[in-house]
Chain A
Amino acid sequence: MTSVLQVRELRRSFGAVTAVDGVTFDIQPGEVVSIIGPNGSGKTSTLNLVSGVLSPDSGSIALAGRRIENATVEQIAEAGLARTFQNGRVFGTLTVAENVEVGAHSTLTALRPLRGLANVPVLRWISLLAELAVALLPTRAARSEQRRLRADVDQQIERFSARLGPRKSDPAYTLSYANRRRTEIARALAPQPLLLLLDEPTAGMNQTETAEVQRQLAALKAAGQTMLLVEHKLDLVMALSDRVLVMDDGAVIADGDPATVRRDPAVIEAYLGRRRERPARADRSDQSDRLEETESRVGETV
């Protein structure tokens, strides 16, 4: 069975800072993998590299066996990857339903005739003009695809029916923050992606809302959705993940199931104890106390 995602020796620097430094990992079908790590450890940069928003200096990325490290964001989306953003990016002027509709854009064929030409210079205009023609004079196939699209959109909104259902036709800028995040997740799921990247899906949410998102993600996982999750809230990570990658200074310092990672001393040091461990001048006897204190804190958080 091929991995859904295969990342090998991924590297990217910004000036003198190496944000991602030789990251390697795999995601198997149906797996939920989380990346955790302190702020600035390279989690979001990794996500941006995988989704094509950034291009890597070196290394390879394969999505379901297809190399994508040099592909554009759009091509990667068409290859079956969907993502959400750290702070929630919805299309403010569009309604909730239209937001989700745009999510399904990469799956359309009748509404986008000759889309095979979209990657060819100059000739891509043929596909653009064909799309324009279909918009003005829809073919029978286009009309039926439009109906199917509406049904798909309703189905995605159904996931969050209590929250988004009544607001389906409202423009997204009128939504609450949590509803924007829900809209974003619905949009990302619309193309039925091979891999869903979630960048801090519960950032800025209170406990109730976080618990709700956690239930929904667990339901997705149960339905077999492969996911890559970047998240700070450790209880969410530990509950959902099959595997956890821990990053620090751009490198993966631990990789394993949640229980193993939770006990890994390197993780404890990097993730929670770093500031306490860094000063080399620190008193020896003092330090062992602090390490214990750190571990107990890890126990609490986890």
Chain B
Amino acid sequence: MFDTLVAGLIHGNAYALVAVGISLIFGVTHVANFAHGSVFAIGSMTGWWLIAERGWPLWLAIVGVLVVTGVIGLVLNVVAVRPLSKAPPIAALLATVAAALILDNVAQLVFGARVRAFPPALPTNNLQLGGVRFGTSDLVMFGVTIAVMGALAAFLKFGRAGQAIRATAQDPEAALQMGIPVPRIQNLAFVIASALGGLAGVFVGMYTSNISPSSGAAAGLTAFVAATLGGLGSMVGAVLGGFVLGIAEAFGISFWGDGVRDLITFGVLIIVLVLRPGGLLGRSPTITTEPLTGTFNAVGRAIRLKRWQVWLAVAVAAVVIPLLADNYTLTVGSQVAIYAIVAVSMTLISGSAGQITLGQAGPIAVGAYTAAILTAINGWSFWPALLLAGVVSAVVATVLTAPAWRLRGHYVAIATLGIGTVCVAVIRNWDSLTRGAYGISGIPAPSLFGFQIDDAVGLYLLALVVLLITIAVISRIRSSHLGTVLSAVGSDEIAARSAGVRARDYKALAFSVSAFFAGIAGALLAQQYTYIDPTVFNLPMSLLALTIIVLGGMSSPVGAVLGSIVLVGLPELLRITPDVRIIAYGVLLLLILRFRPQGLWVRSAAKRTDPENLSPDGQEPPSEGDSSRLATTLQDDRPVGASS
């Protein structure tokens, strides 16, 4: 009992350090920094390298880690976040996601992917209190954390730069006008936050003694939940959230075993989102600001194909490719088609309805497992299993995300990220149904009119047909009244609600539809692989799906297909190795966000303007700015009072 509490406090300690960084950055730049976990992992690895490989003493190694991670934080802000400060916050959020992909995989290349033993820098088992054994190491961690938190609190309260940080957090515009160098303050926040993350990395290494460069995603997510629990932007809240989460996890694990960690983390997240979306110490939003120049963020419309162009493309895909291509290319073609199914359906939720989803691997996994279990274990035929894969996936995803849709922006991104993790965690833990980590093998080939579809051409054509159906369905929805209503929700939620549109329900519906098709795609993927296990459906898969539609243009189904060809097909055909490929995804995502935010398949800002834009006195009214289609996905969701 008592030792569980100690374990909880130690984990909570690390979560608090990481969460404080997330909250600090969120407060000052209003960006949910998804790369923070990667910085944490790099801190861990650097600490290991300095102590184990270079033989530095602990204190010097910590200093080294602080410097390295601090510099990474600075670069992160300068390269990824700062250039997008004028773009809507969701663009910066995606940029940090891209940065996370890059950092994680660069760390893997530099340090090697395998798990390392963190050297015992201090005794871990030399003290005893009330029957619980612990070490100097634990005491030092606690002491340093308390000292750091105290120093940070004092700095924010009394230091000149600290006060500037708080001023910037409250109102960047006003701070700038008062002569506060806001960009420099934001750099400072990134440096401090990242250094704290690095410190936490060293501490967790000292405590768990096993570290790897890929530990960042999980740590970052957990810390995110901790920061959300405490109230994003609140430092004290982050510390509180970290400890509450650490202790809750420790007790959960001591009751139900280590597998439930993700479930507890995201269980806590869902509870917070339902009961108190502002977090323990945050304020709940009352009414969002009325944007000063109205809500006119969209730039560009999807390029439309002519009918003959559509038929030509279909003919090439369905006739020419199967005739000319070899088996390998056809297999790649099936992959492209399967990812395109996921991406095309995502345009409905992320493009039309404007909600960024970061966990599409969840519904894909549910669909894949449903189909695999039904066909390989229960002997169902493929077709009903395919349909049921979509239905089950849609139902599961809908139920899990139900509380998220009354929220906006970052919360939707975080909640959907959680869905991805929770689905996979459940699959891994539900051994009796899913065979857990062993995975399911021997998934039989589908048959049609007695013919087995087991060769490359057959599977390719199957995926292609499903893709065409998906495009037809999604296009039909988009051109109906329902599609118009979904776009209205994405464009301006408050105005849509005032027109009697139940925004929350329509967001949920759009997500269900996209989860349905993700499930179908998962089933096809399972057929293709004939073997699946939980590791297939990881975060990079979710991010790949999102990158595809960001590349193609968020609301363009054709763009989604093109995006899939570029991001899934090309790397495969060019035989780029997976880690380099993921780094390339990250770099590409950063470049698109920075230089072509509307995506490839969308005409850029309309040259045609309203003649009335030039008013009689010759003055141009407030311009729309050059923000992107992404803009519609996120109004500023800062809690503010009513305007009167």
Contacts and interface: CB of A to CB of B under 8 A. Distances in A.
Contacts of A42: 644
B87 to A, nearest CB: 15
Contacts of B58: none
B286 A102 contact: no
B494 A89 contact: yes
| Top 6 closest pairs, chain A to chain B, by CB | A106-B500, A77-B500, A176-B612, A91-B491, A135-B480, A89-B495
B610 A175 contact: yes
A45 B484 contact: no
A179 B612 contact: yes
A90 B484 contact: no
Interface in A15-52: 15, 17, 19, 39-45, 48, 51
B62 to A, nearest CB: 43
A180 B612 CA distance: 11
Interface in A144-168: 146, 149, 163, 167
12 contacts: A44-B644, A77-B498, A87-B293, A90-B296, A90-B492, A102-B501, A105-B499, A105-B500, A106-B500, A124-B505, A136-B473, A176-B610
Given A174-B606, A179-B610, A91 B286 contact: no
A80 to B, nearest CB: 10
Contacts of A85: 290, 494-495, 498
Interface string B598-624: 000000001011111101110001101
A248 to B, nearest CB: 12
Contacts of B644: 19, 39-45
B421 interface: no
Nearest to A199: B290
Interface in B297-345: 297-299, 301
A90 B495 contact: yes
B468 interface: no
B208 interface: no
Given A54-B642, A176-B613, A94 B286 contact: no
B437 interface: no
Interface of B: 286-287, 290-299, 301, 473, 476-477, 480-485, 487-488, 490-492, 494-503, 505-506, 508-509, 513, 555, 606, 608-613, 615-617, 621-622, 624, 629, 632, 641-644
Interface of A: 14-15, 17, 19, 39-45, 48, 51, 53-54, 72-74, 77-78, 82-83, 85-94, 98-99, 101-103, 105-106, 108, 111, 118, 124, 128-129, 131-132, 134-136, 138, 146, 149, 163, 167, 170-180, 187-188, 191, 204, 206, 208
Given A89-B295, A102-B496, A175-B610, A132 B290 contact: no
Contacts of A74: 497, 500-503
Contacts of B613: 176
Q: Which of B287, B494, B502 has most A Cβ within 10 Å?
A: B502
Given A73-B498, A86-B643, A118-B502, A208 B632 contact: no
B482 to A, nearest CB: 4
Q: Which of A19, A74, A93, A146 has most B Cβ within 10 Å?
A: A93
Given A102-B499, A135-B481, A174-B609, A94 B488 contact: yes
A132 B398 CA distance: 15
Given A82-B499, A85-B495, A173 B299 contact: yes
A135 B476 contact: yes
B294 A78 contact: no
